[in-house]
Chain A
Amino acid sequence: MADTHPISWITVIWSMVASACLTLAGVYFIIGLKQKGRPASLLFSLLALTMAAFAGFEYAMMRADSAREFGELQYWIHIPVFTGTLAVIGFTQAHFGTGRVWLAYAACGLRGLADALNFLSSPNLNYAEITALRHIPLPGGETIAAAEGVRGPWAAIDDWALLLTVAYLADAVVSLWRRGGRDNRRRAALVGSGILCFILIAAGSAILIHAGILHMPYLISLPFLLVLLVMSYELSSDVLQAARLARQLEISEAELRESQERMRLAAGAAELSLWLWDIVKDEIWTMEQGRALYGISKDERIDFARFMETLHMEDREAVRESVVQALQGGGDYEGEYRVCLPGVRTRWLAARGRIEFDGSGEPLRMRGVSIDITRRKLAEREVQKQRHELAHLSRVTLLGELSGSLAHELNQPLTSILANAQAAQRFLDREPVDIGEVREILGDIVEEDKRAGEVIRRLSLLFRKGELQHGAIDVNMLVEDVLKLVRSDLVNQGVGVVTTLSPALPMVSGDRVQLQQVLLNLVVNACDAMAGMDRTEREIRIETGTAAANGIRLTVADGGRGIPAEDLERVFEPFVTTKSQGLGLGLSVCRTIVSAHGGTIRAANNPERGACFSLILPTLPERADVRA
């Protein structure tokens, strides 16, 4: 040993190799600990550790002073040889998985045998006797020791074990390459060839040294540097890859959280819930909120039938039909229905869904959303009720304007009843009593009473605020009824009425009271429009007839001053009136009523003079020739 040189380069190199091996062994050990069930990293760690040991043994052997020391070192080196072989084969099998298992066992078995035999030999497996230590000079003034001697009896087994190991590894790497695939080939190229090179050099040189052809120290840890390099490269790519994946994962998780938050917010704010119906399996998934909306308990399995059960009885048929329609090709589903929850008032829900079809047009699943619209429905009901009240109020006000006329209508029959009765009383006082006359009188009284009853009945219908009653209405009869009501007023104001009623008109579906209200309003307005005109020019023309596309037309025309062109639409707005004492609600209520009946009302001016209001109402869809 040269003490005079500052530090031997052999020391430096072998130390570096050893520390590199230890470092990587440590790193892969830590990695391996975390990868339960994947022993590759642990095995590599063991291999690297073994190589560090090898480095130590090699250095010691190179610096061996005596043959005996060399022999002893070579004796003990079989331990790392054994662990190293097992580690490299194990790692290759775990990492690649492509080697022939029997070959692996064979190599390990032979190795084990060889190393076992080693411990029975002296000085070691490879040499029966070491005769001399040759000192080989190296650049830089270094010398290293190599043995010379008689080969051991079982030394060949050592070599066979080495060969089997090489065979196994070569086969594993080639199989991996053969397997194909970019990843596999890359691994085969990199790691595989690294290991192969290492083992070829290590085993190859060992065999040659044992055969006495080469006189040099073992070259095992140095070629392992190749493997270290390759594995470090792999490790760094893995680390980089892991970092990138981690970053991506973080981003994805953040996005997912964001999206979930948004969904929860939307769902919470609008009281809605998402659902998904797997049509093939007939299973419905919905958010927790959805279960609450439909009153289904947390763990209950929901299928279509169960969903149907949650619905109000009257709504089931309609929903079933819409779903069937969507399934048969519509694709989109829309519905509004009630759900009945025990102990809770009826809840209105609106649902919308879309169906996903597979390649052959069969429905796969339906995705949708359900929203609680109870508040909206209640508000709609409220509005409806208020409209109803307003119509009633308007009607009563209108009738109030006719009060003189109405009193007159009742007074007429009352007058004749009273006069008849008092006449009868006088006739009965005469001698002889003319029974025939009295009987006639009584007959007339009865008739007049009925007539009064009719008037009252007609009026009370108009005054009441009952529910809308839809029926088939004959428009001509409507005109006649209304004219009867206003007859006295028309007479008082000296207004004449000319009616042109088409015979046999189809019926209209609607509420009689409300339609009477509309016509009454128009007639009263017409009268008012002509209030300032000369008596001879006060005429109202009422016409009925058919309108295009299943409609009935009813027009009320007057001979007044007409309506200014820019006001033809405005007159239907609320609080628009030309009367000094009017609320101006009449026509706006009329429009509301007509719209609710599916019709239209319009104002226009007559060519000669005055205004004309046209009402168009849809006819009854079924048999229009049958009277109610």
Chain B
Amino acid sequence: MCGPEDTVFLVDDDPAVLKALERLLRSAGLHAMAFGSAQEFLERHDPEAPGCVVLDLSMPELNGLDLQRILAEREPARPAVFLSGQGDIPASVRAMKQGAVDFLTKPVNDDDLLNAVRHALARDRATRTQDADKAEVRRRLATLTPREREVLSHVAAGRLNKQIAADLGTVEKTVKVHRARIMRKLQVRSLAELIRLADRAGLSAPPED
């Protein structure tokens, strides 16, 4: 699914190719932004803007693979689709290993390009959504008091209220109250949901005693 604010970033040193690709994407209803060099792209694009990048393999100064490496180090990693005028197998393997969505050869067919772009945008969206989710969970977890966090880890481990009370040196009633508060703060309605959320946040189980 592509949202209207998704941008396809085009990076190629050939202005005619840039213009044509931008046109093609536009004719398919996508929003594209063109850059004449990797340097220009790095300096002027908005890292927060959702979207993918379509880049030419061989460019002077900074080439496609180098750019891909730089992008991979960032959060969130922007999915890349490679275009190349030369069938360079080692380069293509490197690109795929470094996580490219696809490696296409020029002259590129519109369907092939659009499919790859859509995949990339979807992946980007999925990543962003995942990241957003993760951020939300962390935010919610941050609203818990230290005590509540402790109780949560025991609950996530599957222990009974009675056991938790015994572990923490308090009564069952108190534990129940904590539990209710946790569930309200974290906005979950069942234990299963609670455990899933805990998983998503990456909370580890407390050490077995």
Contact = CB atoms under 8 A, between A and B. Distances in A.
Interface of A: 404-405, 407-408, 411-420, 422-424, 426-427, 437, 441, 444, 447-448, 451, 488, 490-492, 494, 496
A419 B28 CA distance: 11
The A interface, classified by DSSP as helix, strand, loop or mixed, is: helix
Contact of A420 (B23, B86, B108): B23
Given A407-B85, A451-B16, A412 B27 contact: no
Contacts of B63: 491, 494
A498 B181 CA distance: 70
A423 B26 contact: yes
B106 A414 contact: yes
Contacts of A426: 24, 27-28, 110
Contact of A418 (B13, B85, B88, B109): B109
A416 B26 contact: no
Given A417-B107, A419-B24, A488 B17 contact: no
A489 to B, nearest CB: 9
Given A404-B88, A494-B63, A416 B17 contact: yes
10 contacts: A414-B106, A415-B106, A416-B17, A417-B107, A419-B110, A422-B27, A423-B24, A423-B110, A447-B16, A488-B58
Interface string B96-121: 00000000011111100100000000
B177 interface: no
A469 B28 CA distance: 50
Contacts of A408: 58, 85-86
B139 interface: no
Given A413-B16, A416-B16, A427 B60 contact: no
A494 B91 CA distance: 14
A416 B110 CA distance: 11
Contacts of A417: 20, 107
Contacts of B14: 412, 416
A136 to B, nearest CB: 148
A444 B105 CA distance: 21
A415 B60 contact: no
A472 B153 CA distance: 86
Interface in B19-76: 19-21, 23-24, 26-28, 58-60, 63
Nearest to B91: A492
B26 A415 contact: no
Interface string B155-169: 000000000000000
A422 B28 CA distance: 10
Nearest to B18: A416
Given A419-B24, A423-B26, A427-B27, A412 B86 contact: no
A404 B23 CA distance: 27
B85 to A, nearest CB: 4
Contacts of A437: 23
A419 B58 contact: no
Contacts of B28: 426
Contacts of A413: 16
Interface centre among B21, B105, B106 (most CB of A within 10 A): B106
A48 to B, nearest CB: 122
Contacts of B106: 411-412, 414-415
B85 A412 contact: yes
Contacts of B87: 407
Given A437-B23, A488-B58, A492-B58, 8 more contacts: A411-B85, A411-B106, A411-B107, A419-B113, A423-B27, A444-B16, A488-B86, A491-B60
Interface centre among A420, A424, A441 (most CB of B within 10 A): A420
Given A412-B16, A416-B20, A423-B23, A492 B86 contact: yes
7 closest A-B pairs by CB = A411-B85, A426-B27, A422-B110, A416-B20, A408-B85, A419-B20, A415-B106
A426 B88 CA distance: 31
Contacts of A448: 16, 20
A422 B24 CA distance: 7
A234 to B, nearest CB: 112
A407 B105 CA distance: 11
A422 B108 CA distance: 10
A491 B20 CA distance: 22
Contacts of A491: 13, 58-60, 63
Nearest to A422: B110
Nearest to B59: A491
